[in-house]
Chain A
Amino acid sequence: MARITSGAAEARITLPGTRPPLSASALFWKAAPAISIAGLFLFWQLLSLSGVFSNYLLPQVPTVFHRVAIDVITGEFWINAAHTLYRALAGFAIAATLAVTIGIAMARVRVVNWFFDPVLSIGFPMPKVAWLPVFMLWFGAYDTSKILLIAFSAFFAIAVNTVAGTQGVDRYLVWSARSLGASDRKVLRTVILPAALPQILTGFQIAMPLAMIVTIVTEMLMGGVGLGGAMIRAQRFADSIGVFAGIVEIGFTGFVVIFGMRWVRRQLLTWHEEAKR
């Protein structure tokens, strides 16, 4: 019976790096992530060596990383990554600006809320990427259509969270500000926005991975420069090593973006996150 509590209780020790006070096992716990990831690559390598799958279907680990290294050195990776990131971030920025503005307007002005509420209701669960052919029709086959589709995809998650965050602002904060002499406008700028910021940032954190997914998809469909384009080219030329290298490269790029966002959130919300710990 003691094992049940210890299992569940230990699982509740949430932060990485905080481990139950067992001395010999302490080292074991700390090394676990490295062991885990190394184990994955080891498993991959063994599997590809075993001959169960051909070298085409499952290239060896060193081969793939060799290709990644070449891409990095020749600049291929950087050029592709730059294009992909540019599109993703541009689309995201457009979505964020529009969505935060509309979201706040929705929370404060009834008519705006009435108009956009069903739009968000339908748009949020809809696979926005289905509109890609429409965007290509309207905006051509180059960056503009990609960026606008990315913006379209990211918009709804940000708007929904902005509305929730703005509506959820503690009324006592607003009242305190008013009785401290703040005008309506001042209250919006100095109280409502900062108070809604955590939820708005949550919306950002949900929208960014979506933006990345859609960026890759559009690049795969339209080709050209970019990580997605490079991947689909590799696939067409039966360059399986290139495909796997592409996964590593895209994975890394995604990783950087997501962790970048988390860092930004931590910086902006020092006053908030501390309370959560």
Chain B
Amino acid sequence: MPAGNAIQVEHVTHYYRPPKKRPVHALDQVSLEVAEQEFVALLGPSGCGKSTLLYLIGGFMPVESGAIRVKGREVTEPGPDRGVVFQHFALFPWKTVLGNVLYGLENLGVPKDEARERAQKYIDMVHLTGFEDSYPNQLSGGMKQRAAIARTLAVDPDILLMDEPFGALDAQTRGIMQEELLSIWQGTRKTVVFVTHDVREAVYLAERVVLMTARPGRIMESVDTRFDEVGPAVMDRPEFVEKASYIWNRIKGEALATVTARAG
């Protein structure tokens, strides 16, 4: 097991400041460590700030209070070392699948032939062979997300930040995508931070599930979710069910608090 932290979040507090409205306290003194090649899930009720934390790690929003370090260096802006996959795919609709996947490679100055080869490799890896010249609006949800993943992987980031990537997919596609993500991760061994509100998904995919409270988001606890067995059959194992129940009970109180807070 490699040592050293890929990501270090130190006492980060964050406020959303929408124009003409009161600031929203999104995160409160959040500290987190993610080791190299670790697969970590961020789990919590809606609005708990898990996505916000992800965006801060990604460098899309400035860290006002506290610090976030990636490989020891402080995060100030986005970069190809931290790849990101969003819930609604964020594919460039005016580019084909190939065009999308090539985008990062072009930015990094990779020579044309090599870029094409690499792009094809990742398109094949996500099983989109044959759809290189399709436009996003011709693809199904699952296919779009594969394309987005291929695009992100093409620049070979050490870290993958995933913001509820399967949230917009139907249940069956979601299941398939989860398997594919696991096999990609096992093949490429990147550090993954995976945001979700689906308990079973988190327990299944991640090695460690970090639980967050309702707004303002704080870290409640970390739960180890490594199992001996891999593959969907593990979900029927008693250890799995136990862990999932435990986590759900911890989260339930927070989720209810969110619901009543919204209504009130």
State yes or no: do A and B touch (Cβ within 8 Å). Answer: yes
Using Cβ atoms and an 8 Å threshold, which residues of chain B touch A186?
107
A8 at the A/B interface (Cβ < 8 Å)? no
Q: List residues 177-216 of chain A with CB under 8 A from any CB of chain B.
A: 177-182, 186, 190-191, 194-195, 197
Stretch at the interface among B72-80, B176-184, B216-224: B72-80
Which one of A170, A175, A275 contacts B60 once the chains associate, using CB atoms below 8 Å? A175
Q: Among A170, A176, A191, which residue has its beta carbon within 8 angstroms of that of B84?
A: A176
Instruction: Please give the number of chain B residues whose Cβ is less than 8 angstroms from any Cβ of chain A in the complex.
Output: 31
A176 to B60, CA, bound (A): 10
| Nearest-Cβ distance from residue A205 to partner chain B, whole angstroms | 19
Contact between chains at B90 and A182 (CB < 8 Å): no
Instruction: Evaluate whether A179 and B94 lie within 8 angstroms (CB atoms) in the complex, with A186-B107, A274-B135 already known.
Output: no
Measured CB to CB, the nearest residue on chain B to A184 is B77
Determine which of A180, A191, A197, A272 lies in contact with B151 in the assembled complex, contact meaning CB atoms within 8 Å.
A180
Contact check: which of A170, A180, A190, A270 meets B155 at CB < 8 Å? A180
B94, B104, B137: the one within 8 Å of A180 (CB): B104
Q: Which of A179, A190, A194, A195 has the most CB of B within 10 A?
A: A179
Distance from B112 Cβ to chain A, minimum over Cβ atoms (Å): 16
Asked if residues B84 and A173 are in contact (CB atoms below 8 Å), the reply is: no
Q: Which residues of A contact B136 (CB under 8 A)?
A: 271
> Which residues on the B side are within 8 Å of A173 (C-beta)?
90, 92
Do A179 and B151 have beta carbons less than 8 Å apart?
Answer: no
Interface of B is mostly: loop
Question: Within A242-277, which residues are at the interface with B (CB < 8 Å)?
Answer: 270-272, 274-275
Number of residue pairs A-B, CB distance < 8 angstroms: 76
A274 to B, closest residue via Cβ: B137
Residues B90 and A179 in contact, CB atoms below 8 Å apart: no
B78 contacts across to A, CB distance below 8 A: 175, 178-179
Chain A residue numbers with a CB within 8 Å of B135 are 270-271, 274
A172 within 8 A of partner (CB): yes
Q: Is B103 an interface residue (CB 8 A)?
A: yes
- Contact pick for A271, options B77, B104, B137, CB 8 Å: B137
Instruction: Determine whether the beta carbon of A274 is less than 8 Å from that of B94.
Output: no
Report the bound CA distance from A76 to B54 in whole Å. 67
Contact of A182 among B60, B93, B107, B151 (CB under 8 A): B107
Shortest beta-carbon distance from A105 to chain B in Å = 20
Known contacts: A271-B93, A274-B138, A275-B137. The answer to whether A179 contacts B103 by CB under 8 A is no
Specify which of B93, B95, B104 is in contact with A275 (CB 8 Å cutoff). Answer: B93
Contact A181 B80 (CB under 8 A): yes
CA distance A155 to B263 in the complex (A): 46
Contact, CB under 8 Å: B90 / A170: yes
B241 located at the interface, meaning its Cβ lies under 8 Å from any Cβ of chain A in the complex: no
CB distance from A174 to the nearest CB of B (A): 9
Which of chain B's residues have a CB closer than 8 A to the CB of A272?
93-94, 137
B83: Cβ under 8 A from any A Cβ: yes
- CB pairs A–B below 8 angstroms (11 shown): A175-B55, A176-B90, A179-B83, A179-B84, A180-B107, A181-B107, A186-B107, A194-B94, A270-B135, A272-B137, A274-B135
Binding site for B on A (CB under 8 A): 170, 172-173, 175-182, 186, 190-191, 194-195, 197, 270-272, 274-275
Closest 8 CB pairs of A and B: A180-B104, A181-B107, A275-B137, A178-B78, A172-B90, A179-B78, A181-B80, A176-B90
